[in-house]
Structure 1
């Protein structure tokens, strides 16, 4: 079973990694679309400068057709990738091939390899090295090299006015400088944005791997807890029988103090049975067989009342500020999650504890406040990580770890902070859509 679960986790990780890869590819495709619009305006400005400023004859109509093709392709790309968010390597590869083809056509019409803007091929090669898989990058290198070689043999020569023929070296030099500035500016601008996309993808993958490890840890702890619950059933049943026998002893019946202690022992034993039953009902599932229909106010009011009756707390303040009651599905895990935070706060502040609940249109907010010493900075920094605790007990620090993971499974968030007047506050926000019937 463990090996099968690990295989499923590996398959899930690979699927999520592919999703993140496609998401990063979508962002990179949008960057290429933006780059293409810059290329459109750059070509228009360059053609206008060459024709008007330097009086160099160019095949304007043919170049305009190529430019129109580039605009049409970019509009189609924008419409396609505005809705579709999964972009693969092949689709990025095709987009770069189109860019290489457009650049080759414009260079063919404007001097071929003698045009200093032929160095823009380097931009395509560098972008492919960043965006594409290795095989795709080498294909782009081969294609650009073949195009450049072909342009050195076949192209329409530039027709220069007589006054510019002697100044051809200076024109070529100026073109090289302009091309270098364009290449450098575009590379810095877009590679920075593309690198941010890749770093965001890597951060998402790292976060998902961390969550996978934590959830695997939860599964293992759930199996241990379930096994321990089964093992505890027999000794608790034995103790229940013994306490029942003690209650029938005449000497104990005549001693009020011992009867009071016996009643307290039975009450605590019943509480242990309830805890064990909840573990067995909800082991492995955040919303399992123990789910029941209720309303959010009824559920929270009953939880607060039970907490007040089963814990030794001098002053427990419960405030329900919910304006609208809604039907929800509650189960033992949800109840245990809230009680876990309350128990931790009670341990830090046995004299005073507060639970405040409120809601808006789509979120339920719970605030647990205590007057204890507060959280250490190291615990706040790593809040929700396992074994982050000042208690010197085996297994301490798992309570908040479980709370954070249960809340996260329900789509909520948990935040903690120390109060300026002393004590600590834990804030839990849950989407009502995860609880409503």
Structure 2
């Protein structure tokens, strides 16, 4: 961002609520008034000391008191209420004009270079107020300058008598200054106003775009969570459908069989699993942003996943091992939790005997947590491996093929990665890398 843009952004406040622009504008106007007053008074005293110009101390004292009172009243007004209308802000600008007129009446009028300060006030008006006020201030400034010019042209300016051409040259100089002021006023009233309006519109559009982006991220997060929940429900619903089909074929006596009771127990287990998934979806849907990353202790993160897996797959042999400090913090959210659980469940279904889930600090990138999920199954078919991570790709007929796709999307949104490989000795391995909080970077197991 350029220094010029930073200045305009400071000078042209953008209201986030009604009256905020006027309040900020008045604060900056009071600061400008204080700064110019201090510099102006010091300048007058310096000119008196260096060039011997006589300056009325009564004038300096009176103006100083007037400025001090106006600034104090302005800050008292802001403390009383933060709402400042455009009309009120315009009146505060006119106070600066009155103070400037009082100074010019006693220090040379149009021949005083300080008369150009009207342009500064006009620029401030153009930056803060609508065009109607800008045009009014430009007209007031031109009338003030014209009045001082006519007064100077009708007087002898306090100059010693001299050749007529010298007096004409000085008069032309005054007229030239007036013309420059007139042109400058018109340019500021037209172009600075347009520039200020353009900045205000752009900042408003940027604010709206940021709000839309946040809203879209929330919708995507909810959609990802809903898709993950739908995928999580797919397996238990399929299991229940098969069991119910088998149960429909049995008579009352056969339903008393112990194996049938075991099937009914599995059916209840799958129903519990579905309820759990729907409860999670409802809970995180009601949050402002279900995809919002959170810092969790590694132990809490692992226990949450471990409890879910062991409850849903009580007969599976799944070993969880933390190979780093268990008080380490990780960045996670509900979608990432679903992603890790989904990949572990895929390994459980593919494994012949057991599944290993290890948690380590990534050796090549100490700012990431590495989750290694290994199984001793047949491995991933080559045709599936080539399209891994794409939707509707699966090696199982009963699967929709969305699990890895959704897991990859959730982990990538958090700044992590997923890599799937086949192990030479047999089975497959998934490597999930999740970012660590900045204050955890480089922490390894002692």
Which TM class, normalised by the smaller chain length?
0.5 to 0.7
- In the alignment, the residues of structure 2 paired with residue 208 and residue 18 of structure 1 have an alpha-carbon distance, to the nearest angstrom, of 15
Matching of residue 392 in structure 1 with residue 395 in structure 2: no
Question: Greater CA radius of gyration, 1 or 2?
Answer: 2
Q: CA deviation at 1:43?
A: 1.0
Partner of 1:274: 276
- In the alignment, the residues of structure 1 paired with residue 340 and residue 44 of structure 2 have an alpha-carbon distance, to the nearest angstrom, of 72
- In the alignment, the residues of structure 1 paired with residue 158 and residue 342 of structure 2 have an alpha-carbon distance, to the nearest angstrom, of 84
- In the alignment, the residues of structure 1 paired with residue 42 and residue 321 of structure 2 have an alpha-carbon distance, to the nearest angstrom, of 73
C-alpha change, 1:125 and 1:299, in structure 2 (3 Å) is same
Partner of 1:307: 308
C-alpha change, 1:417 and 1:254, in structure 2 (3 Å) is closer
Partner of 2:106: 109
Q: CA deviation at 1:27?
A: 4.8
Q: CA deviation at 1:415?
A: 5.9
Q: CA deviation at 1:94?
A: 3.6
Partner of 1:382: none
C-alpha change, 1:304 and 1:203, in structure 2 (3 Å) is same
Deviates more, 1:93-102 or 1:199-208: 199-208
C-alpha change, 1:206 and 1:22, in structure 2 (3 Å) is farther
Partner of 1:425: 434
CA RMSD of aligned residues (A): 6.3
- In the alignment, the residues of structure 2 paired with residue 397 and residue 95 of structure 1 have an alpha-carbon distance, to the nearest angstrom, of 62
Pick aligned residue for 2:212 from 209, 212, 227:
209
Partner of 1:361: none
Q: CA deviation at 1:208?
A: 1.9
- Equivalent residue of 1:19, what SS? coil
Partner of 2:68: 71
Q: Deviations over 1:346-399 (max 9, x none)?
A: 69999545499xxxxxxxxxx964359xxxxxxxxxxxxxxxx95435899877
Matching of residue 36 in structure 1 with residue 33 in structure 2: yes
Partner of 2:351: none
Task: Specify every segment of 5 or more residues in structure 2 that has no aligned partner in the other structure, as ranges.
Answer: 1-13, 289-296, 348-354, 362-367, 374-387, 393-401, 419-430, 439-446
Pick aligned residue for 1:46 from 24, 43, 47:
43
- In the alignment, the residues of structure 1 paired with residue 80 and residue 326 of structure 2 have an alpha-carbon distance, to the nearest angstrom, of 43
- In the alignment, the residues of structure 2 paired with residue 81 and residue 267 of structure 1 have an alpha-carbon distance, to the nearest angstrom, of 65
The number of residues matched between the two structures is 345
Q: CA deviation at 1:126?
A: 1.9
- Equivalent residue of 1:149, what SS? helix
- Equivalent residue of 1:425, what SS? strand
Q: Deviations over 1:313-352 (max 9, x none)?
A: 65454976399xxxxxxxxxx9845624644786999954
Partner of 1:96: 93
Task: Specify every segment of 5 or more residues in structure 1 that has no aligned partner in the other structure, as ranges.
Answer: 1-16, 288-295, 324-333, 357-366, 373-388, 405-413, 430-437
Preserved contact between residue 110 and residue 157 of structure 1 (Cα < 8 Å): no
